[in-house]
């Protein structure tokens, strides 16, 4: 059954490439490396489609145990055929922290504070050289591992330069790049040094096709390509889907049921607003909490009748901006709780632990799910919530999330920058009558379940169906 996606419209071998792989390793007490399935949307989205097949997955070593295993060459673990690259930490750090997360992530999500950042100094240019070198290491690994005429599926902004170098060394291969994030527009791209903007777009133009979560991001990419290169490579839109079976398995697990019982005990009969996010600047946590504060102030009828449960866990703490943001978020939560709490009511339940079953339990229980990113490639939580929710919960969704294109007709629209407007949406969602709630929830479930992870995987392969090995990429 797992071979079916490859046979459907292509019998060519497949190689998957990403910075983070589907398996990670830790050291056992005896010092031996032990494998475990990695978290993350990519491993979940296509893992079941390729596990047990001949597909090779190439990824970076992210732990000391990973690096030990990388020395063994191609390995088989947890049903995957895995090639881990052993990248020197001194090379990986500027690749990952300075360029991928510190520059490209900020660029594509519109997060730069232009009065202060970006500053493209000598350190940045040295880091870009490291970014190029790591991309070249991935290219060489693909060239070594890919069978003749293979289809290569490369994932995310970390590996934006692979396309052109891979086409040069292995013209028999066809490759697709899938961008999980938004893509910036030409004005934002123009902030990059001209030579680097050109190198970035040439790298992406080297792929046979570039995929995106939303038509908006595809159009932005095409505009950037035409602005810098005068032309654009082929693009396609294929939003990632939720693995409903995997999600259902978590819901019925003992761990999730226990977490739901605990949450029900904490919340009692009150209404529950939920958010599940990383503590990430683009997720817009501060404005979400400020909107809740405004809700309690302007609608006193909700005092002691609603709880905001925030399941938000730290992210990218190697970057100073993220360290400062976490402190700001935690400080705001304390101030709001100090302002409004009573002996029997804690307005915000703040949980910074990365506890997946507890997060899913919260999605089962919410009356309102707040998803208000400044900008987001997709946002799977907005799809997961309606599929597991047991209370006909309403989704308050930012129009700047890629998933708005799929759920916008059923979710309540949020302007992520409008705190007062977000407060009004929360009030409207909490005030909605049973019939309207049922109608909204049913429409959300239908839209969220319309696609499967296998659909998404196949769309990447189908994007290359019309390309012969070594075909023209222009």
Residue 2 pLDDT: 33
Residue 467 pLDDT: 66
Residue 400 pLDDT: 98
Residue 9 pLDDT: 46
Residue 39 pLDDT: 64
Location of structure tokens 């690749």: 95
Angle at 60 between CA 233 and CA 81, to 5 degrees: 90
Report all structural domains of the chain as residue ranges with CATH numbers, in order of start. 4-241+454-462 (3.40.50.2000), 244-450 (3.40.50.2000)
Question: Nearest-CA neighbor of 139 among 222, 15, 2, 325?
Answer: 15
Alpha carbon distance 354, 337 (integer Å): 22
Measured in residues, the chain has a length of 474
Residue 145 pLDDT: 95
Q: Report the interhelical angle of 194-205 vs 215-229 (nearest 10°).
A: 120
Question: Nearest-CA neighbor of 378 among 221, 198, 204, 179?
Answer: 179
Asked whether the beta carbons of 32 and 171 are under 8 A apart, the reply is no
Asked whether the beta carbons of 370 and 357 are under 8 A apart, the reply is no
- Mean pLDDT in order along the chain per 10 residues (474 residues): 41 93 86 76 77 89 85 81 93 97 97 93 98 99 96 97 98 97 98 98 98 98 98 96 93 97 97 97 98 99 98 89 96 99 98 94 98 98 98 98 97 99 99 98 98 93 76 54
Alpha carbon distance 376, 252 (integer Å): 29
**Which secondary-structure segment (H or E) carries 373?**
none
Beta pairing partners, 397: 371, 413
pTM of the predicted protein model: 0.93
Residue 74 pLDDT: 84
């Amino acid at each position: 059954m797992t071979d079916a996606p490859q046979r459907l419209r292509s019998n060519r071998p497949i190689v998957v490439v990403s910075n983070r792989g589907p398996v990670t390793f830790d050291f056992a007490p005896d010092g031996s490396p032990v494998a475990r399935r990695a978290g993350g949307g990519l491993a979940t989205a296509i893992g079941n489609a390729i596990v047990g097949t001949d597909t090779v997955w190439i990824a970076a070593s992210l732990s000391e145990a990973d690096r030990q295993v990388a020395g063994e060459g191609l390995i088989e673990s947890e049903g995957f055929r895995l090639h881990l690259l052993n990248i020197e930490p001194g090379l990986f750090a500027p690749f990952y922290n300075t360029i991928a997360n510190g520059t490209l992530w900020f660029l594509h999500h519109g997060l730069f504070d232009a009065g202060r950042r970006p500053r493209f100094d000598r350190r940045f240019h040295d880091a870009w050289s490291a970014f190029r070198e790591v991309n070249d290491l991935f290219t060489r690994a693909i060239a070594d591992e890919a069978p003749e005429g293979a289809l290569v599926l490369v994932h995310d902004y970390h590996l934006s330069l692979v396309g052109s170098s891979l086409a040069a060394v292995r013209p028999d291969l066809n490759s697709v790049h899938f961008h999980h994030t938004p893509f910036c527009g030409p004005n934002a791209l123009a902030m990059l040094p001209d030579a680097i903007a050109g190198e970035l777009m040439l790298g992406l133009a080297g792929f046979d096709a570039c995929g995106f979560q939303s038509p908006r991001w595809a159009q932005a990419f095409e505009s950037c390509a035409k602005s810098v290169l005068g032309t654009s490579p082929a693009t396609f839109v294929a939003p990632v889907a939720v693995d409903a079976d995997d999600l259902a398995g978590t819901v019925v697990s003992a761990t999730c049921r226990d977490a739901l019982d605990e949450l029900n005990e904490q919340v009692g009969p009150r209404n529950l607003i939920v958010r599940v996010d990383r503590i990430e600047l683009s997720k817009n946590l501060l404005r979400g909490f400020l909107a809740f504060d405004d809700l309690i102030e302007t609608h006193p009828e909700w005092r002691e009748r609603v709880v905001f449960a925030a399941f938000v866990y730290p992210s990218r703490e190697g970057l100073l901006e993220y360290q400062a943001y976490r402190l700001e978020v935690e400080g705001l939560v304390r101030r709001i709780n100090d302002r409004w709490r009573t002996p029997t009511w804690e307005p915000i339940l703040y949980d910074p632990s990365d506890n997946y079953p507890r997060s899913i339990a919260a999605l089962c229980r919410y009356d309102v799910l707040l998803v208000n990113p400044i900008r987001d490639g997709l946002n799977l939580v907005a799809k997961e919530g309606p599929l597991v929710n047991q209370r006909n919960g309403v989704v308050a969704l930012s129009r700047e999330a890629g998933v708005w294109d799929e759920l916008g007709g059923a979710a309540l629209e949020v302007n992520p920058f409008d705190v007062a407007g977000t407060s009004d949406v929360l009030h409207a969602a909490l005030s909605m009558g049973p019939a309207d709630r049922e109608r909204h929830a049913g429409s959300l479930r239908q839209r969220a379940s319309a696609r499967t992870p296998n659909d998404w995987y196949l769309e990447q392969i189908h994007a290359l169906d019309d390309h012969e090995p070594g075909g023209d990429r222009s």
